[in-house]
Every structure is written in C-alpha cells, then in structure tokens.
Amino acid sequence: MSHRIDKVEHLIKEEISLIFLHKLQDPVFGLVTITSVKVSPDLKIAKVYISVFQKENRALVLEKAETISGYIRTQLAQRIRLRFTPELKFFIDDTLDYVEKIEGLIKKIHQNDDNEGNESR
C-alpha cells in the first residue's frame, strides 16, 4: 500500500506544481515551490508543503493558497484519476530556514575556533 501512496504523492506534487506554474497568475505567489506532499493512508487528505522565496510573503502566500484550495483541488481532479480527490491542506516548508540556522551556527563555531587559534600563537 505504501508504494501506491508514494506514487500518488509524487503525482499530486507534480500536478500541483504545474497548476501553480500555469494556472495561477497571481503575483502574490512569486517564486513558490511545492517541496513535498504527504497523503493520508485513506487518500482523503493531502498535506502540501510549499517553500516561498520571499520570507516576508509567507503568511500572505499561505493564506492565498488556502483561499483558492478549492480551485486547485478542482484543477487537480481534472488532471488525475482517483476515486476521491484529496482535500488540500497547505503548510509552509521551513526546512531551508533550519538549514540556514545550522549553517550559521557552524560558521560561528569555525570563527570562534579560528579566533582561539590566532590568540594562542
């Protein structure tokens, strides 16, 4: 069953990406990327994770995506053949923020190491 869910998740991700690219011409979206889709075991709910290039627009983009989720779901239903088109729930993917934070901490540690190495000479 998990193989089927993986295939459905991948298909939904591809199709929603195309919908955002071709059907949604709203400038609010700017550079939006669908990073992943997680579907419930019964295929009734799909959690769609989006990454927004402009961090200050995240809340606005998320609100707009939730507002037009019915339209996106309708477009999705026309593109894929499933018994039920899953209900779409949108979430901000903040993985890149976490990566940036870790990289910043690593750089800070290296700077401290370099400073201590220079002081001991």
What is the token pair recorded at 27? 């400038």
For residue 81, being part of any structural domain is answered with yes
Residue 113 located in a structural domain: no
Q: pTM above 0.85?
A: no
Helix, strand, or coil (residue 120):
coil
Give the total number of structural domains in the chain.
1
Instruction: Write the CATH number for 36.
Output: 3.30.300.20
In a domain, 45, yes or no: yes
Query: What is the chain's pLDDT, residue by residue, as a tens digit (121 residues)?
Result: 588 899 999 999 999 999 988 888 877 777 888 999 999 999 999 999 999 888 888 889 899 999 999 999 999 999 998 888 999 999 998 877 778 888 888 888 888 777 766 665 5
Residue 70, in any domain of the structure: yes
| 105 domain residue, yes or no | no
Domain of residue 62 covers: 2-94
Q: Do the domain assignments include residue 21?
A: yes
CB of 58 within 8 A of CB of 92? yes
Is 116 contained in some domain?
A: no
In a domain, 104, yes or no: no
Alpha-carbon distances of 45 from 27, 40, 59, 60, 95, rounded to whole Å = 27, 5, 22, 23, 22
The length of the chain is: 121
